[in-house]
A = this chain, B = another copy of it.
């Protein structure tokens, strides 16, 4: 909720006791999910484990779904562990593959589910994509060639199909789904980059 960096806004108390409470509550949620499963996690139980009163939790997070959603988001690694080499045709597929591994794992799927269930629509938007844009932007920035597409296009072509399947289907995903999508995307955009290379082979998606 609060940011830990930058100038303090008046009327906010991000540090000290508030921070300790937040950390204790988050830790309690993680522990209880591990012990009892998602269904066994209730506000009173989290409060007892964290050593705070239920009303504290109800006032900061409004309900269990929001709290679990909050925890799920924080526990997902949001950084981009790929070191771009500068060639999009390598960097983007590599990142896509890693991203799929991350999201299509048991904890990844659980995280997506929890985040969605805690999204109440009053907030501006479901915050799942926020973790993704910086990674893509970093790869694009590192490209030695000019980039003729934007981050949203990558999301449409690579991230969207992946998330859609994770959310809306049960079947295990083809392991190279995101990678293949990324390869096809890069190829398509290098074709469009000026030369009319229509005779080149296209990557057919599955």
Q: A residues near B, CB below 8 A?
A: 38, 65, 110, 113, 116-117, 119-121, 124-126, 128-129, 153, 155-157, 159-161, 163-165, 167-170, 181, 188, 191-192, 196, 198-199, 202, 204-206
Contacts of A188 in B (CB 8 A): 188, 202
Contacts of A170 in B (CB 8 A): 124-125
**B204 adjacent to A129 (CB under 8 Å):** no
A37 to chain B, nearest CB (A): 11
Contacts of A191 in B (CB 8 A): 198, 202
**A113 adjacent to B121 (CB under 8 Å):** yes
Which chain B residue lies CB-closest to A148? B204
**A168 adjacent to B205 (CB under 8 Å):** no
Bound-complex Cα distance A115 to B188 (A): 35
Bound-complex Cα distance A192 to B201 (A): 9
Contacts of A202 in B (CB 8 A): 188, 191-192
Contacts of A181 in B (CB 8 A): 156
Contacts of A160 in B (CB 8 A): 156, 160-161, 163-165
Q: List 30 A-B contacts (CB under 8 A).
A: A65-B117, A110-B121, A113-B121, A116-B116, A116-B117, A116-B167, A117-B117, A124-B170, A125-B169, A125-B170, A126-B167, A129-B164, A129-B169, A153-B205, A155-B161, A155-B164, A156-B160, A156-B181, A156-B205, A159-B164, A160-B164, A160-B165, A163-B168, A164-B164, A188-B188, A188-B202, A191-B202, A192-B204, A196-B198, A198-B198
